């Protein structure tokens, strides 16, 4: 027997998954985003350049395949898709801006698996490439809030927002934060000491209670912003208020990937336990240049963690307008002599866009009926010797229990009624 690879899942019922994809696609298309797709395999260098070599994702979580021949590039399973989308934008010379696109599919990260955290997981990504206007950030967050609260009917979540300023703001701030950490060095855990050296703002992601207590007193980046950045931060907040988005300013929200600047945000829910964030994103104005573009394409994007949204949807499944399965019309040929006739009749019924199946089973009629019940058949279509001789079918309504004998020529018309 074989088992699944650690951290992967089998999806045996995709009702909620499909519901999420459909609702979300319709929602973002109403905001003028178009569906695209990019490959699962990308060059390893793409993520090293975009996410930063000091991020956990690049450092230890990538599935990498080194080229086997001299000069062959190292490739990997994509750990995220913003970098891929920007690569596609640049490589395909897209010129109409902003390029508003969405995509969804599997991502791969070698993390320690737990509830809501997998090694193969799915994201729904929405990106607007080529717009530096801060109003877009507020509209984007509002679009997501409407998606979760209205289209997906979720209510138990918080919208966290922070503002990371410009690279110059961060240079100033990193020195201030460094001084604070040095002064409190003895109170830091080992991991925070390491982060202080490698990726200083990530100290805020620490899960240790003592470190978190200390960071409540830390200087925050919004206090180190230039006048221009400060104006944008204020503009963002007032636009969110104007759009009636209740959000929580979370100064310790820095996000795990290095390419963000200015607005960053996360949607989280306490109903998810430790892995509480189900959606996160922000502005990435310098990513295009990091990937070799001469031009700057200020951009904004988000990744929704589908598995985590599904955990939330599962909890409110009863009130969701999930699609009903089509009624099943199940042919029961009573002996092998009727197999061809049943196939032919089923073919006609199928052509009328009805859901049809045939039970090629030899046991008694009683056990075939039991199986039909178990399969959830709405109608059972019996064809035995008599029906074959008389060119008829017995149609049994499995809910009311009524039976009618119908001429084979009239069957499709009768069922469509």
DSSP letters along 222-277, please?
GGG--HHHHHHHHHHHHHHHHTT---EE-TT---SSTT-EEEEEEEE-GGGTTS-E
Binders in 159-188 for ligand AMP, by CB under 6 A: none
Binders in 226-285 for ligand AMP, by CB under 6 A: 256, 277-280
Q: Give the helix/strand (H/E) hosting 101.
A: strand 99-108
Q: Which stretch binds ligand AMP (CB under 6 A): 40-48, 116-124, 203-211, 402-410?
A: 116-124
Q: For ligand AMP, which is the closer residue by CB, 124 or 331?
A: 124
Rounded to an integer, what distance in angstroms lies between the CA atom of residue 282 and that of residue 302? Answer: 6
User: Taking the CB of residue 5, how many other CB atoms lie within 10 A of it?
Assistant: 8
Q: Which residue is nearest to ligand AMP (CB)?
A: 305
Residue among 269, 276, 355 nearest 316 (CA): 269
Kindly state whether residue 80 participates in binding ligand AMP, applying the rule CB under 6 A.
yes
Residue among 58, 236, 216, 99 nearest 164 (CA): 236
Kindly state whether residue 109 participates in binding ligand AMP, applying the rule CB under 6 A.
yes
Q: For ligand AMP, which is the closer residue by CB, 53 or 367?
A: 53
Q: For ligand AMP, which is the closer residue by CB, 201 or 356?
A: 201
Q: Pick from 118, 163, 260, 300: which binds ligand AMP (CB under 6 A)?
A: 118
Q: Give the helix/strand (H/E) hosting 15.
A: helix 15-29
Kindly state whether residue 121 participates in binding ligand AMP, applying the rule CB under 6 A.
yes
Burial of 273 (0-12, 13-18, 19+ CB in 10 A): exposed
Distance of CA 383 to the CA centre of its chain: 46
Q: Pick from 117, 230, 371, 414: which binds ligand AMP (CB under 6 A)?
A: 117
Rounded to an integer, what distance in angstroms lies between the CA atom of residue 331 and that of residue 80? Answer: 47
Kindly state whether residue 301 participates in binding ligand AMP, applying the rule CB under 6 A.
no
Distance of CA 73 to the CA centre of its chain: 29
Kindly state whether residue 220 participates in binding ligand AMP, applying the rule CB under 6 A.
no
Number of residues that bind ligand AMP (CB under 6 A): 17
CB of 359 to ligand AMP, least distance (A): 40
**CA torsion sign, 212 to 216 to 218 to 220?**
positive
Contact code string over 37-76 relative to ligand AMP, x by CB under 6 A: ----------------------------------------
Q: For ligand AMP, which is the closer residue by CB, 232 or 307?
A: 307
Which residues of the shown chain bind ligand AMP in the complex (CB under 6 A)?
80, 109, 111, 116-118, 121, 123, 256, 277-280, 303, 305, 307-308
């Amino acid at each position: 027997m074989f088992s699944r690879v650690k951290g992967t899942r089998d999806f045996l019922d995709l009702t909620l998954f499909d519901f999420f994809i459909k609702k979300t696609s319709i929602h973002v298309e109403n905001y003028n985003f178009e569906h695209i797709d990019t490959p699962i395999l990308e060059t390893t260098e793409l993520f090293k350049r975009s996410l930063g070599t000091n991020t956990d994702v690049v450092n230890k979580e990538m599935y990498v395949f080194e080229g086997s021949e001299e000069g062959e590039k190292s490739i990997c399973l994509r750990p995220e898709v913003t970098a891929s989308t920007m690569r596609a934008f640049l490589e395909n010379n897209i010129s109409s801006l902003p390029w508003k696109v969405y995509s969804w599919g599997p991502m791969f990260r070698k993390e320690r698996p737990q509830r809501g955290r997998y090694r193969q997981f799915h994201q729904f990504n929405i990106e607007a490439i080529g717009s530096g206007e801060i109003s877009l950030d507020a509209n984007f967050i509002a679009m997501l809030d409407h998606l979760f609260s209205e289209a997906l009917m979720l209510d138990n979540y918080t919208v966290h927002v922070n503002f990371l300023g410009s690279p110059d703001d961060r240079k100033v701030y990193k020195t201030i934060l460094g001084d604070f950490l040095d002064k409190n060095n003895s109170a830091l855990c080992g991991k925070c000491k390491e982060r202080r050296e490698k990726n200083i703002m990530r100290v805020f992601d620490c899960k240790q209670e003592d470190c978190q207590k200390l960071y409540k007193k830390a200087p925050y980046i919004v206090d180190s912003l230039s006048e221009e950045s400060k104006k944008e931060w204020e503009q963002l907040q007032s636009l969110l208020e104007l759009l009636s988005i209740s959000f929580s300013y979370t100064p310790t929200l820095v996000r795990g990937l290095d390419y963000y600047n200015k607005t960053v945000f996360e949607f989280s829910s306490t109903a998810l336990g430790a892995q509480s964030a189900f959606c996160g994103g922000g502005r990435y104005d310098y990513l295009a240049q990091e990937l070799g573009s001469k031009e700057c394409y200020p951009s904004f994007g988000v990744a929704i963690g589908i598995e985590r949204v599904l955990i939330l949807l599962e909890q409110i499944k009863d009130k969701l307008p999930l699609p009903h399965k089509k009624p099943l019309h199940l042919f029961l040929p009573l002996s092998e002599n009727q197999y061809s006739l049943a196939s032919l009749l089923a073919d006609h019924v199928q052509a009328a866009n009805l859901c049809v199946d045939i039970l090629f089973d030899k046991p008694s009629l009683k056990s075939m009926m039991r199986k039909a019940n178990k399969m959830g058949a709405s109608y059972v279509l019996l064809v035995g010797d008599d029906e074959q001789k008389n060119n008829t079918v017995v149609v049994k309504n499995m809910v009311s229990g009524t039976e009618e004998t119908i001429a084979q020529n009239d069957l499709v018309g009768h069922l469509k009624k």
